[in-house]
Amino acid sequence: MEQINKVKSISIWIFIVPFVAVNTCLIIITQFQGLFPNQEDIVHNTIPYFDGGTSISRTVRPFPSWLIFKPSMFLTSFLLIKYWLYNKDIISSFEKNHKYINKIVFFGIASAVALAVHSFFLGIKFDNDLYKLFRRIIMFLFIIFEIVAQAYLVATLYSFKNKISKYINQKFLIIKICLVSILIIVAVLSIPIISMPNNDFLGLNVKFFKHGLEWNYFLGVIIFYLLTFLMWKKKIK
């Protein structure tokens, strides 16, 4: 099936593009500090996946980091829209009126739009509490829409797994289900912490925890697309 081949091809790029972009920005801001005209923007040596030494927004927001990050996120948003539309076609070919198909398309495309909007406003500074709240809400909506779309998709594929058994490596479908389940659980448990406007939670400084969580959650979200690439079998006709 042509649409399956398209999903397989596009999914690997949805993993590679943001992964390379964000980590390139991290390398630049920690190792090539002379490129930053404002030395207050630089970040000293850190591996934030482990030590939470900086946030993603702090890493990608300054010039010239955003020259890499913003175009990459706009490209990722475009690829995400194509990804969810291709998945709609795949689902329709097996179960035309599946009850989740419209939800998958809505939440999938909404997450792509939210990512593009957030990326556009990243680095644009307004000393306004409503603007800061707006950016926070857009980022929150991206995460929620993305995880909901992923959850509906894996639930849908699992519901007719026997029909697609010759097209997929089923162990990767199970891994995707486990990954999405973990992302949902982590999101629910973390809401009380990440929703705090400051870094104080029950008297504890959770700044580094929040940053580390952000980096690893980002990795988990995009690994979903790497697993998509591995799940669908090669050269389906």
Give percent of the chain above pLDDT 90. Answer: 66
Q: What is the pLDDT of residues 127-169, one digit of tens each?
A: 666 777 787 888 889 999 999 999 999 999 999 989 999 999 9
Q: What is the mean pLDDT of residues 93-120?
A: 93
The mean of the pLDDT values for the chain is 89
Q: Do 112 and 132 touch, CB atoms closer than 8 A?
A: no
More confident call, 175 vs 197: 175
pLDDT of residue 227: 97
Q: Do 65 and 111 touch, CB atoms closer than 8 A?
A: no
More confident call, 58 vs 194: 58
Residue 224, pLDDT above cutoff 60: yes
Per-residue pLDDT band at 235 (split at 50, 70, 90):
low
pLDDT of residue 41: 80
Q: Do 33 and 119 touch, CB atoms closer than 8 A?
A: no
Q: What is the mean pLDDT of residues 164-188?
A: 94
Residue 99, pLDDT above cutoff 70: yes
Residue 221, pLDDT above cutoff 70: yes
Q: What is the pLDDT of residues 1-59, one digit of tens each?
A: 788 999 999 999 999 999 999 999 999 999 998 888 887 888 888 999 999 999 998 89
How far apart CA 154 and CA 177 sit, in angstroms, is 6
Is residue 170 exposed (0-12), middle (13-18) or buried (19+ Cβ within 10 Å)?
Answer: middle
More confident call, 122 vs 72: 72
| HSE (side-chain half, CA atoms, 13 Å) at 227 | 20
Q: What is the mean pLDDT of residues 220-231?
A: 97
pLDDT of residue 202: 57
The candidate with the shortest Cα–Cα distance to 144, out of 173, 119, 91, 108, is: 108
pLDDT of residue 199: 64
